[in-house]
């Protein structure tokens, strides 16, 4: 049970209502057609979910990581894809929150939050040959006078095809490896920004993952976020901020599958009794529920630590927030995979059909073990933090 402030409680209630009234009835259709649900994104905008952490003067909710987790969890209970769109959007906004100066924020936020247009943002780090090892990126931003020329290809970018703005990471000095990476804010309308192929995914269908190609895109120096060479730290700070929200998404998917399986077990009769009366089923449900609660506790613990405004990397490391953030993501994603698989099992043959939502939830859960750093990579982060002071 979470002990929420009034504001957090209100945000959660709004998200819960929107999820139940507007998203749940669309979940099956979004999964089967794969069409990007612009109508829902418009509703997210109306409810402030696209500007969760932005100041109120831009229409934002002045929220924090806990607010983001609450919204994403509620949406994910009914649709993984419908939760991924605002999640990836908010991740795309984070490099700006972390690194933009006041002038840049004013400029970007007012463009992003214009009343007559719904603007989606994407976070563009991964490349075809640089996934877990993102530091080996090939995208470059070469400085000439007051401009940078951006060239390269990003891949599997959520919201990529539908975004108006991208937070892009590129090397301004390849010989310096991570210290040569810089972060840029890029608009879809800039000449040379090309939307490449979209992937045909296993799950999270309805949210797109797309290649973005940069063909000699001319950027102003004002497009640089932070300073040259700070991009790697900006990307890592962003991922530390966003991982609890991926954990919240996984918790939501798992909770949705658990709730459905419990209802089913209560109604389905075999051998003359409810499934819920079999001890074997009860033990499964008990383990599923325990996993979900433990994951939720980790997620909101990590979110709370981040909300104590310990964003700066040195402070963050000092109190182990990197580790907590990674733990929240890795544990919740593994729980979601297990719980959704068990939910399919509890529904038997019907669980394996598209008539029921648990197979969709199982496909959606898989993605949470892969993006925002795979679960193996999270374990590397956790172990590195644990052994930090002992390693030479």
Ligand X SMILES: Cc1cc2nc3c(=O)[nH]c(=O)nc-3n(C[C@H](O)[C@H](O)[C@H](O)COP(=O)(O)OP(=O)(O)OC[C@H]3O[C@@H](n4cnc5c(N)ncnc54)[C@H](O)[C@@H]3O)c2cc1C
| Part in contact with ligand X (CB under 6 A); list of ranges 68-76, 259-267, 304-312, 372-380 | 372-380
Collapsing DSSP to helix, strand or coil, 235 comes out as helix
Binder among 18, 65, 120, 156 for ligand X (CB under 6 A): 156
User: Binding mask 313-352 vs ligand X (x if CB under 6 A, - otherwise)?
Assistant: ----------------------------------------
Let me know if 188 is exposed, middle or buried by CB neighbors in 10 A (0-12, 13-18, 19+).
Answer: middle
- Does 125 help bind ligand X (rule: CB under 6 A)? yes
Q: Residue written as tokens 């089923």?
A: 281
* DSSP per-residue string spanning 345-368: HHTHHHHTSTTSTHHHHHHHHHHH
CA distance 370 to 296: 19
Tell me the residue number closest to ligand X, measured at CB.
131
Closest to 51 measured CA to CA, from 91, 90, 92, 98? 90
Residue with smaller CB distance to ligand X, 200 or 314: 200
* Residue of 194, 380, 383, 386 interacting with ligand X (CB under 6 A): 380
Per-residue contact flags (x/-) with ligand X for residues 126 to 145, judged by CB under 6 A? x----xx-------------
Quick one: DSSP state of residue 23? I
Q: Which of residues 69-98 bind ligand X (CB under 6 A)?
A: 88
* 164 sits near ligand X (criterion: CB under 6 A): no
Kindly identify the residues of this chain, within the stretch 197-236, that bind ligand X according to CB under 6 A.
201, 204, 209
34 binds ligand X (CB under 6 A): no
| Helices and strands (H, E) in the chain, number of each type | 13, 10
Active-site amino acid positions: 372
Contact predicate 169/124, CB 8 Å? yes
In the complex with ligand X, the residue whose CB is nearer, 217 or 261, is 217
Q: From the CB of residue 385, how many other CB atoms can be counted at a distance below 10 Å?
A: 17
Which residue number, 184 or 300, has a Cβ lying nearer to ligand X?
184
Pairing of strands 121-124, 165-171: parallel
What is d(CA 92, CA 89) in angstroms, rounded to the nearest whole number? 5
CA nearest 128: which of 199, 49, 220?
199
Nearer to ligand X, 133 or 220 (CB): 133
Choose between 294 and 370: whose C-beta lies nearer to ligand X. 370
**Contact residues for ligand X (CB under 6 A)?**
88, 122-126, 131-132, 156-158, 201, 204, 209, 367, 370-371, 373-374, 376-377, 380
């Amino acid at each position: 049970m979470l002990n929420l402030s009034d504001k957090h409680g209100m945000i959660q209630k709004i998200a819960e209502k929107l999820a139940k009234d507007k998203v749940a009835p669309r979940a099956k259709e979004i999964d089967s057609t794969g069409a990007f649900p612009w109508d829902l994104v418009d509703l997210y905008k109306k409810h402030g979910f696209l500007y969760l952490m932005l100041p109120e003067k831009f229409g934002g909710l002045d929220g924090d990581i806990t607010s983001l987790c609450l919204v994403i969890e509620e949406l994910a209970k009914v649709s993984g894809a419908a939760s991924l769109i605002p999640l990836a959007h908010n991740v795309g906004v984070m490099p700006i929150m972390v690194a933009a100066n006041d002038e840049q924020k004013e400029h970007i936020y007012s463009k992003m939050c214009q009343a007559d247009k719904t603007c989606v943002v994407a976070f563009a780090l991964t490349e075809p040959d640089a996934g877990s090892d993102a530091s080996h990126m090939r995208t470059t931003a070469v400085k000439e006078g007051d401009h940078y020329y951006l060239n390269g290809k990003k891949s599997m970018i959520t919201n990529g095809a539908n975004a108006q703005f991208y937070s892009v990471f590129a090397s301004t000095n390849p010989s310096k490896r991570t210290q040569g990476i810089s972060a840029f804010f890029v608009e879809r309308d800039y000449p040379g920004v090309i939307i490449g192929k979209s992937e045909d995914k296993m799950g999270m269908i309805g949210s797109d993952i797309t290649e973005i190609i940069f063909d000699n895109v001319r950027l102003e120096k004002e497009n640089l976020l932070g300073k040259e060479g700070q991009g790697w730290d900006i990307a890592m700070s962003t991922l530390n901020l966003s991982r609890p929200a991926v954990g919240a998404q996984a918790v939501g998917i798992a909770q949705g599958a658990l709730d459905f399986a419990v209802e089913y077990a209560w109604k389905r009769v075999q051998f003359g009794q409810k499934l819920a009366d079999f001890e074997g089923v009860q033990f499964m449900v008990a383990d599923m529920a325990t996993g979900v609660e433990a994951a939720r506790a980790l997620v909101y613990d990590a979110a709370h630590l981040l909300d104590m405004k310990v964003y700066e990397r040195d402070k963050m490391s000092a109190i182990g927030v990197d580790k907590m953030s990674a733990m929240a993501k890795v544990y919740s994603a593994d729980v979601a995979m297990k719980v959704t698989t068990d939910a399919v099992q509890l529904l038997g043959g019907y669980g394996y059909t598209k008539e029921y939502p648990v197979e969709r939830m199982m496909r959606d859960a898989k993605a949470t073990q892969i993006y925002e750093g795979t679960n193996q990579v999270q374990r590397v982060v956790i172990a590195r933090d644990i052994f930090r002071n002992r390693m030479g």
